[in-house]
Structure 1
Amino acid sequence: MDATVLEITKDGVRVQLTSGMSMIVRTEHLVF
């Protein structure tokens, strides 16, 4: 899934998907 990071907050990361939908991803859900 391709997404662009819009903003990094203390709670998580706000990303925008290629479909145009933006969402907040909580940091504990991220896998690097």
Structure 2
Amino acid sequence: MEYSMPTSGSQFATKRSPLQPMPKPTSNKEGPPKG
């Protein structure tokens, strides 16, 4: 585990952004939405 998660996953998604285009804002920038 990285560190204490504050909310549902506010920082969790932010940390995954650079690793994997999971969030919608990132998907939109990369290409078509995954889901």
TM > 0.5: no
Whichever structure has more strand as a proportion of its residues is: 1
Whichever structure has more helix as a proportion of its residues is: 2
TM-score, normalising length: structure 2: 0.23
Larger Rg: 2
TM-score, normalising length: structure 1: 0.23
Higher RCO (CA 8 Å, separation ≥ 6 residues)? 1
